[in-house]
Amino acid sequence: MTNAAINYEKLNDQELARYAHARDRSAISLITMRNNQRLFRTAWSVLRNHADAQDVVQDAYLKAFAVIGQFEGQSSLSTWLTRITLNAAIDRQRSIERRKAALNKQDVALMEDYRSNYASLGGARSQPDSRLVREELGKFLKLAIGRLPEQFRTVFVLRDVEAMSVTETADILDINPATVRSRLFRARRLLRQDLETEYADLFDDMIVFAGADCEAMTDRILNAICINQNGE
């Protein structure tokens, strides 16, 4: 269901949630397109794995849209979705850790070697195409952030990558604003051990979930929620 007469862009969060609850495809599509990047980055900050983060975002959307009729607007819709995604990512990480622990008892080593994925910057520097250089630096930054302890990494992604406020971040993580500030300070200090100041403008490129990935996520959510509503 979609109402062509509605200007969805001008709806407030509660109105948009009501339309999404009624399985309005345009409302659901707008919500996902607005939040795909942020939710993916939030999930990645916990899991540090593209495929796992993508699965978590999809699961989080399905959970959220199942109860979106209960959204009361006490926080923004984006904050509400981010909190659901973070909790889903933490649950997934705990499940992964339990599986790893069980397999490790059988002497099966499953720990990923993130450093083995480090791509040397030497080859990129010799390329005339600056885009290649940015891509290599983006990989370097993503790996450096992935090495941060989880409590610092998530705060860093929410604050410095997603530009969320201290209050929003504290609300999502259920911690004090002062704790957000101290963890962000620690995260930045740890990153300075790996990064130089000229890399700062690359943060927005390092954990990308856009283009085909973003559109595919929206299509999957629309299909899962709306495809069978009329027995189609």
**DSSP 8-state secondary structure symbol assigned to residue 157:** I
Shared domain for 148 and 219, answered yes or no, is: no
Cα-to-chain-centroid distance, residue 86: 8
The answer to the question of residue 3 being in a domain is no
**Backbone region of residue 148 per phi and psi (left: phi > 0; alpha: psi in -120 to 50; beta: other values):** beta
Could you tell me where the beta strands, DSSP code E, fall in the chain?
none
Q: Tell me, yes or no, whether 21 and 74 share the same domain.
A: yes
Is there a single domain that holds both residue 13 and residue 96? yes
Please indicate, yes or no, if residue 57 is contained in any of the structural domains.
Answer: yes
pLDDT at 203: 58
List, in order, residues 6 or more apart from 101 with CB less than 8 Å away: none
Query: What pLDDT is recorded for position 1?
Result: 59
Specify the number of domains making up the chain.
2
Residues 14 and 103 in one domain: yes
Compute the distance between CA of residue 83 and CA of residue 97 in angstroms, rounded to an integer: 21
Alpha carbon 155 to its chain centroid, in Å, reads: 12
- Tally of helices (H runs) and strands (E runs) in the chain: 10, 0
Same domain, 87 and 143: no
User: Is residue 135 located within the same domain as residue 78?
Assistant: no
Question: Is position 1 within any domain?
Answer: no
Residue 99's pLDDT is 75
The CATH number given to whatever domain includes residue 28 is: 1.10.1740.10
**The pair of three-digit structure tokens given for residue 21, joined into one six-digit string:** 């609850």
pTM for the predicted model, two decimal places: 0.70
Per-residue confidence of the chain (232 residues) as pLDDT tens digits?
567 789 999 999 999 999 999 999 999 999 999 999 999 999 999 999 999 999 999 999 999 999 999 999 999 999 999 999 999 999 999 988 887 766 555 433 323 333 333 333 344 444 445 666 667 667 777 888 888 998 899 999 999 889 899 999 999 999 999 999 999 999 988 888 766 544 555 555 666 676 778 888 998 898 888 765 655 5
Same domain, 123 and 175: yes
Left, alpha or beta for 202 (phi > 0: left; psi -120 to 50: alpha)? Answer: alpha
77 and 44 assigned to the same domain: yes
Listed as own residue / partner, the contacts of 210-218 with beta carbons closer than 8 Å and 24 or more positions apart are: 210/36, 210/37, 213/36, 213/40, 213/54, 214/33, 214/36, 214/37, 217/32, 217/36, 217/40, 217/54, 217/57, 217/58, 217/61, 218/29, 218/32, 218/33, 218/36
CA–CA separation, 126 vs 186, rounded Å?
34
Torsion of CA 136, 138, 139, 141, to 10 degrees: 130
Residue 154's SS3 state is helix
For residue 102, the model assigns a pLDDT of 63
Domain extent at residue 177: 117-205
Cα(19)–Cα(16) distance, integer angstroms: 5
